[in-house]
Amino acid sequence: MRASAQILGAPIARVEGRLKVTGSAPYPIDVAVSDQAYAVLVQSTVVRGRIRAIATDTAERAPGVVTIVTHANTPSFPLGPMTPLGPSPLPPLQNADVLHYGQHVAMVIAETLEQAQAAASLITITYDQAEPTLSLDEPSIAPESHPWLPDQIRGDAAEALASADVRLDETYMTAENTHNPIGLFAIVAEWRGDTLIVHDTTQWPHGVKETLAGAFGIEPANVRVQTPYVGGAFGAGLRVWPHVTLAALGAKLARRPVKLVLTRAQMFTSLGHRPMSVQRLRVGASRDGRLTAIEHEARSPLSIAGEFFNPVAAGTAEAYSCAHVTTRDRQIRLNVSLPSWMRAPGHAEGSFALESAIDETAYLLDLDPLELRRRNHAAVHPHSGHPWSSNALLECYTVGAERFGWHGRTPAPRSMRDGRLLVGYGMARAALSAYQAPCEALATVRRDGSASIRSGATDIGAGTYTVITQLAAELLGLPVTRVHVGLGDSDMPKAPQQGGSGLTAALGNAVHAACRDVIHAMLDLASKDERSPLHGCTVHTVEIRNGGIQRLRTPADNESFAEILDRNGLEELTREGASEPPSTATMAHAGPFGAQFVEVDVDPDLGTIRVERVVSVIDGGRILNEKLARSQIIGGIVGGIGMALLEETVSINGRPINTSLGDYVIPVNADVPDIDVSFVGGPDPMTEVGAKGIGELALTGVAAAIANAVFHATGKRIRTLPLSLDKVMD
């Protein structure tokens, strides 16, 4: 049985686009319920210490105040659940200890937002301060290896380095970055008896559901989390942060709904961040351009206030065909807010160091950086030896070089100019590990000829609503206008987070299974019915077309789903589908691959860098919607430009100081050049839909490609991000 329509891949516009551009899409920050009160957080102004006293008397007497929550009246919360992404953040307000600047130390609930803000300013806190630990080089703090990030060891890298014809040994650094979606994170919490209703800015409704159920000792069935539209998140919504639990607690204590919206400054200390990294790369190569050894050691901060793993060096183990590779990731506990995942976590930082080092090695060998990558392409998974499920990286290199005009470059640094400006070409490999979690979905076909798909997944802007609509429409033989997709509700079937670039494959496979089972159930009804023109048909003798089933050899023998349901007295037919991660016993599950080519102009007098153009060629498996896929790649490249040239969260003595969009600089239209995106490769056989997740891939490789282009333009190798003009002029 097959579907005859070809809807997947078509560059249709977002199905939810009209809601968004008209302001009708309900984001959590827009939710307002009857009789809601407003919560405001009070945060620590010290970096480390203990609360000696907290005076709330004056604030409690302020107009409109409903209640004030501190560690003194907060119940004991259990630790949050272990999740597929690791341990939950520590529960809030459990004691008087302060572990980082901006830690929540109180919450005020009042009738209006303004009254809550005014009362919060009246709270006086006295601290016993202690000396914080803030440096990765603190000798008294031992670096920790994370159990989820074991050292990767292949061969003997140390011995191979010692005997290498050419050796590179350099240190690279990436800055701390902060998620900065335009929409502030918000939550509305409401208790209805023993049932908790939550509207939360999250990438994982079911994760919030399970965490809050555990925190308040209620059944998960008594928690409903709704988030049909998220806005930007970039990883900030992958964890159940302490303010979520506090809002639910506030609603319980106030006996009325409570709305809490983080301020822009609080977004810098309450939702995680991409931690800075220090990475040492040692590369060995033979004179003929073969990599003989790679050692990649990475250090990054970990908060004293929780757990987090960041695979900075780990991806290097599967990057190139090299017999001797060692990677080590180490974390150092500091008095900083808890880091978290940010678009392409670990891979973005690690690819900057690795792809910069590969570029440097190419210059040591007097070899084209593209050719060095070709010669060391990993045709099979280098660590397991298994064949890739799919890998079109070499095609990415070939197509990218042609579209960019790579071979027109003159190799020597400072050899290309445009008037007084120095011109540089740089390129880098892009890659992301494959990830897919279990997922469930419901498919329903109705008597009126429409269909719906439901799953508790979210869409943070990746286009999930649209590609799942296209998938279901193709499988059911319906126009996209007759398919409705419902997401973002924990009362819907269980789904994983939208993160790790794995949701499209996981949800797509579940939807594929659900639609298949609906069709099989429809065919079963028809084939057993002597009145049906499909009587006696099997799955091998029919196809799906025009919202129904028809015989392959005699298309006139057909029946719509609506007719089948009507004759059987059914209003609708629903089936649930589920997906599981694919087996990697004999094949390496390939993530997406790509090649990034960049041209920069550098002003030799001012040190300013402008990215003039980017060519990005992507192996993303089966592209389900080329328009939306291209948008995802462009968005990731813009993020990579920010990481390379602009973004840096600056802290002084543990206190972030550029906590506004006026001070934390991100790319704007004038910083973004023409971006040429193309796709190569084909469906990946590890998933029913053949898709790979590309939402994060595009950010990888961009920073290195820009840094490599800056070196080609100037002859100056900058190994620390961002590539600010002072580093160019130094």
Here the tokens at position 238 are 């992958």
> Which residues lie closer than 8 Å to 615 by C-beta, 6 or more apart?
400, 403, 404, 596, 597, 598, 676
Query: At 360, is the secondary structure helix, strand, or coil?
Result: helix
pLDDT at 6: 75
Contact 621, 701 (CB under 8 A): no
Cis peptide before 84 (omega within 30 of 0): no
Nearest CA-CA partner of 510 in 691, 635, 247: 691
What's the CA gap between 722 and 730, in Å, rounded? 14
Alpha helices in 528-576 (DSSP H): 561-567
Helix (H) or strand (E) holding 504, with range, is: helix 503-527
CA distance 79 to 73: 18
Please state, in angstroms and rounded to a whole number, the distance separating the CA atoms of residues 277 and 330. 10
Instruction: Give the pLDDT confidence of 468-526 residue by residue, as tens digits.
Output: 999 999 999 999 999 999 999 999 999 999 999 999 999 999 999 999 999 999 999 99
Q: What is the pLDDT of residue 624?
A: 96
Q: What are phi and psi of 544, to 5 degrees?
A: -100, 130
Q: Which two tokens stand for residue 601?
A: 């102009």
Answer yes or no: 696 catalytic. yes
DSSP β-bridge partners for residue 428: 596
Torsion of CA 400, 405, 406, 408, to 10 degrees: 170
Q: Which DSSP category does 662 fall into? A: T
Tokens 């153009």 appear where? 613
Regions of the chain with pLDDT less than 50? none
Q: Indicate the class that CATH gives domain 2-25+437-579.
A: alpha beta
Phi then psi dihedrals of residue 710, to 5 deg: -65, -40
Q: Which of 16, 295, 297, 696 is catalytic?
A: 696
Angle formed at CA 650 by CA 649 and CA 651, multiple of 5 degrees: 120
Owner of token pair 């049985």: 1
481 Cβ neighbours under 8 A, 6+ residues apart: none
Domains 2-25+437-579 and 277-435+586-729 share a fold: yes
Per-residue pLDDT tens digits for 613-628:
999 999 999 999 999 9
Distance CA 662, CA 660 (A): 5
Per-residue burial over 397-422, b if 16 or more Cβ lie within 10 Å, else e, is bbbbbebbebeebeeebbebeeeebb
Q: What is the pLDDT of residue 270?
A: 97
Q: DSSP letters of 124-175? A: EEEEEE-PPP--TT-TTS--B--TTSPPEEES-HHHHHHT-SEEEEEEEEE-
Residue 448 makes CB contacts below 8 A (sequence gap 6+) with: 562
Q: Give the pLDDT score at 5.
A: 54
Number of Cβ within 10 Å of residue 148's Cβ equals 12
Domain ranges within the chain, ordered by starting residue? 2-25+437-579, 31-131+184-231+237-270, 277-435+586-729
Query: Domain 277-435+586-729 belongs to what architecture?
Result: 2-Layer Sandwich (3.30)
Task: Check: CB of residue 504 under 8 Å from CB of residue 462.
Answer: yes
Amino acid residing at 581: P
pLDDT of residue 85: 86
Angle between helices 347-364 and 626-645 (to 10 degrees): 70
H/E element holding 516? Answer: helix 503-527
Check: CB of residue 198 under 8 Å from CB of residue 257.
no
CA 352/CA 175 separation, integer angstroms: 11
Smallest CA-to-CA distance from 207 within 81, 42, 105, 337 is with 81
pLDDT score recorded for residue 525? 96
Which residues 6+ apart lie within 8 Å of 296 measured at CB? 279, 280, 281, 282, 313, 316, 325, 326, 327, 328, 350, 353, 354
Q: What is the pLDDT of residue 3?
A: 55
One-letter amino acid identity for 151?
Answer: D
CATH number of 31-131+184-231+237-270: 3.90.1170.50
